[in-house]
Chain A
Amino acid sequence: MEKNRRSFLKFAGVSVLGLGSLSLLDGLASEDAIASSGQASADATYKKTANALTAKRWGMVIDTRKLNGRICRKIEKVCHQTHNVPHHEEKKHEIKWIWETHYKHVFPEKQDEFLVDRLKELPIPVLCNHCENPPCVQVCPTQATFQRADGIVLMDFHRCIGCRFCMAACPYGSRSFNFRDPRADNAIKNENKEFPTRMKGVVEKCNFCAERLAVGKQPACVEVSKGALVFGDLSDPNSGVRKLLKENYAIRRKQNLGTNPSVYYLV
């Protein structure tokens, strides 16, 4: 039903533009092309080993009750180290995949004068939500950002033209742009040779550690989180994430927008 509604909306959207039937077919055809090309390039990017972790839909649960500043800083550090995220002094050029902020910024629509004390100053990590219905993928003019069959939203750094439409479309501010050469000026310390560095002029963001999942490892942030971050298959009722969601009330960022984030917060 949901699927039907969405394909109808897409169909209607394309029709409204007043195209001939031919281009309409083209339009719908490339819808499929996105899914399949996404699959193809994902496979091409990360060779899966026999012990690769797989899922129908990857998701994450962040248990804010187990968080503290030390864990948050560790999470950010290990992620940015693993993925060669450059550090630029100038804030305008900043690149971040996962970072800590406060409740009022994580959930700006849920601001509350009488918020429970514990949450007021608690550092909470934010990252790409790997939305089930990602606006960034919808707007990308080259399919450089795409959604894999397992729900992970990835970037093809070699295809991105740097138009930054995805950054305007992302309602979570999860994307960063290489405003300058990340390989210059010693911006990447202790480069991780297992993961590519980027070039200037392309967009990047959290990839749910797709390269680690492919070799059977949990995301780097999860490993150092002391149980505060749990990663697993949202479509498997017996997975760790589903068990947590069954037993705890969870919220997601800007649920009202219909993007359907795959990152849940226990508050």
Chain B
Amino acid sequence: MLEKALKGSKAYWLWVFALLGIIAVGFGFYLKQLDFGLGITGMSRDVTWGFYIAQFTFLVGVAASAVMLVIPYYLHNYKAFGRITILGEFLAISSVIMCILFIVVDLGQPMRLLNVLLYPSPNSMLFWDMIVLSGYLFLNLVIGWNVLDAERNSVPPAQWLKPLIYLSVPWAISIHTVTAYLYCGLPGRGFWLTAILAPRFLASAFAAGPAFLVLLCFIVRKVTKFDPGKEQIQTLAKVVVYGAIANIFFFACEVFVALYSQIPEHMDHLQYLFFGLHGHGILVPFMWTAMVLMVGGIILLVIPAARQNEAVLGVACVFTFIGIWIDKGLGMVSGGFVPNPLHEVNEYFPTFPEVMITIGVYATGFLVLTILYKVFVGVKEEVAV
């Protein structure tokens, strides 16, 4: 089926080469990072994880959100999603690939990566993260590819796929749970030390992922002959708003516990993010922007008339996606590191090379996504003829 990605319009190839160009630039900066060390990023002795790990965390969520299509379609027999479930699974594949790349670019000694396999350490949540992420990548590749292949041959998907599809449901939950466990099991990091971190990660994922998928559906409809369908997009929009509301609710629970108990170790980080601490507050405008975008997105999505207007829906999905991206991709990680364990405030902000490497990784993910979606649309067009 991959040959479908080799035939495309001028615009398709322009897009592919543009992505390749961005990847090349990002890779150039990565070579610079390999040469100098991670010192070219904004990370420091106090904020030891930054943009890369935050993007990784955010994208694990986007990957996990494919389950929001798999559950209605395969478990509740919601036929409409049959049209777009593979789009969700292919989005998951490209997201997991980006996750893995973000881990690699974050390592100080990437050529020693295989030490994780050589000295397996079940105590480490990173070990489990590797297992669940690679397993999820494998599941989605096998399921997505085989279901699409069956569709191409106009036969029902093979029976042996069923158990894998059912397995992919808890597996999707597991990837984001384990990712949250990276953070929430650490003593002395009050911001993350909350049992609601994994549920909140999942809630924000089930808002950001489907919101992105809605936008992708709009693009697919515009640039190809395949229409993901009005009903499908509307149902996705409802998934987004449930996820977004749950996310805000969980966040409110966190804020209440921290502010009402007034325990400094839990409260200081929130204060740093939203009001600044000891005169440092580089993230304050970002966090408030995120809040406005997330709440604004919910308001637009929760009103039926607004949601059903696709132009408004598009805006609401952009709001939701960017709002959650700022919250998780910028605030969540550095917020946990500031103030540091000695209660000193040393701030973090990504540097230019760091951002360029990040964009390079995103371009790689988009390239994979483009190829997979091209194959998908190619098959759909072939079947339609």
Contacts and interface: CB of A to CB of B under 8 A. Distances in A.
Interface of A: 10, 14, 17, 23, 26-27, 30-31, 34, 37, 90-96, 101, 104-106, 108-109, 126, 135, 137-144, 159-165, 167-173, 176-181, 199-203, 254, 257-259
Interface of B: 36-39, 42-46, 48-49, 103, 106-110, 112-113, 115-116, 118-128, 130, 182-183, 186-189, 264-265, 336-337, 340-344, 346
11 contacts: A10-B123, A135-B188, A141-B121, A143-B121, A161-B108, A161-B109, A172-B341, A176-B45, A181-B36, A200-B36, A200-B38
Q: Which of B45, B122, B340 has the most CB of A within 10 A?
A: B122
B122 to A, nearest CB: 4
A165 B107 CA distance: 10
B122 A14 contact: yes
Contact of A159 (B36, B43, B115, B120): B115
Contacts of B124: 138-141, 165
Given A161-B113, A164-B49, A179-B37, A30 B341 contact: no
Contact of A179 (B39, B113, B118, B123): B39
Q: Which of A26, A126, A168, A171 has the most CB of B within 10 A?
A: A168
A30 B121 CA distance: 7
B48 A201 contact: no
A181 B33 CA distance: 11
A96 to B, nearest CB: 8
A247 B305 CA distance: 76
A164 B108 contact: yes
Contacts, number: 168
Contacts of B49: 164, 168
Contact of A201 (B109, B119, B121): B109
Contact of B123 (A95, A138, A144, A159): A138
B112 A135 contact: no
Nearest to A159: B115
B109 A160 contact: yes
A217 B189 CA distance: 36
Nearest to B36: A180
Contacts of B113: 161
A171 B182 CA distance: 15
A141 B116 contact: yes
A54 to B, nearest CB: 27
Nearest to A26: B122
B107 A141 contact: no
A92 B45 contact: yes
Given A92-B39, A101-B342, A168 B48 contact: yes
A30 B39 contact: no
Contact of B37 (A26, A34, A170, A181): A181
Contacts of B108: 160-164, 177-178, 200-203
A173 B119 contact: no
Contacts of A168: 48-49, 183, 186, 189, 336-337
Given A104-B343, A160-B108, A167-B48, A109 B265 contact: yes
A139 B341 contact: no
Given A14-B122, A168-B186, A177 B344 contact: no
A30 B122 contact: yes
Given A177-B48, A179-B37, 9 more contacts: A23-B122, A159-B115, A161-B109, A164-B48, A171-B341, A172-B341, A173-B340, A201-B108, A259-B187
B125 A139 contact: yes
Contact of B107 (A162, A170, A179): A162
Given A167-B48, A200-B37, A159 B342 contact: no
B115 A31 contact: no
B341 to A, nearest CB: 4
A26 B127 CA distance: 13
Pairs A-B, 5 closest by C-beta atoms: A162-B108, A171-B188, A201-B108, A179-B39, A108-B343
Nearest to A181: B37
Contacts of B43: 92, 179
A92 B41 CA distance: 10
A31 B336 CA distance: 29
Contact of B342 (A91, A105, A144, A179): A105
Contacts of A171: 186-189, 341
B54 to A, nearest CB: 13
B120 A30 contact: yes
Contacts of A199: 109
A257 B118 CA distance: 31
Nearest to A131: B187
Contacts of B189: 168, 171
B172 to A, nearest CB: 14
A161 B45 contact: no
A254 B295 CA distance: 38
Contacts of A142: 112, 115-116, 118-119, 121
A259 to B, nearest CB: 7
Nearest to B120: A30
B48 A143 contact: no
Contacts of B37: 178-181, 200-201
A158 B40 CA distance: 22
B289 to A, nearest CB: 26
Contact of A163 (B44, B126, B128): B126
A211 B350 CA distance: 38
A3 to B, nearest CB: 16
B159 to A, nearest CB: 24
B123 A34 contact: yes
B17 to A, nearest CB: 33
A257 B187 contact: yes
Contacts of A106: 342
B83 to A, nearest CB: 32
Nearest to A94: B45
Nearest to A137: B123
